[in-house]
Amino acid sequence: MSHFCPSIVSKVKGGIATENDILQTLYCRYYNSAYLYCLALCGKKELAEDLVAEAFVKAYLSLPDEIPSFQYWLFRVCKNLWIDYLRKEKRLTSDEDIPYVADTDTPELQYLKKERNLCLWNAMRSLSPTDREIVTMYYFSGIPLQEIARLLGKSYVAVRQRLTRLRQTLKLRMEEQGYDI
């Protein structure tokens, strides 16, 4: 429990708060970033919601002592659940088989009302799943590059260079869609 806000831990130890209170606090704090991450992985609103809900419980119940932050652990659990889902549904044999999610007129697109966000969303959807994951974790979830590198099993320099290239790629794709950056 040492990874959580000290005030929450002291409330649990003092009998003021319960384990459910901690889970609820973590859910409120990290739901949006976990949801965006899962949405970037799967491209389906309902599936992303299901993955996040299951991931919170699994991440909380299996949190090891050596994990630097709950968010880091939560994202690892989300990705593992996504891969498990793909293996179950598509009988995938490796991470390389993760499919590209095609652009379709979905409720997510209706949610993105501003033209720039829609243009960025379309550009991001054209990225590979791993590239989309890096952009989502860094820009939308605010995870530092060092943690992203650790999560992906890559070096800090490799992730930093990849992110630089991804920014250039996104800029070009947005310009191709008629958005002047």
Q: How far is CA 67 from CA 29, 51, 62, 140, in A?
A: 18, 21, 11, 21
Q: Which of 8-22, 62-76, 103-117 has the lowest mean pLDDT?
A: 103-117
For residues 154, 155, 157, 161, the Cα torsion angle rounded to the nearest 10 degrees is: -10
Q: How far is CA 66 from CA 27, 41, 56, 80, in A?
A: 21, 26, 18, 18
CA distance 128 to 142: 20
Give start and end residues of each alpha helix (H) in the chain: 6-13, 19-42, 45-61, 70-90, 107-111, 115-125, 129-135, 145-152, 156-176
| Per-residue confidence (pLDDT) for residue 11, from 0 to 100 | 45
Q: What average pLDDT does the chain have?
A: 76
Using pLDDT thresholds of 50, 70 and 90, give the confidence band for residue 64: confident
Structure confidence by residue, pLDDT tens digits, 98-147: 554 444 445 544 444 445 666 777 788 888 888 988 988 888 778 889 98
| Per-residue confidence (pLDDT) for residue 23, from 0 to 100 | 75
Domains assigned to the chain: 1-99 (1.10.1740), 101-181 (1.10.10.10)
Percent of the chain with pLDDT over 90: 17
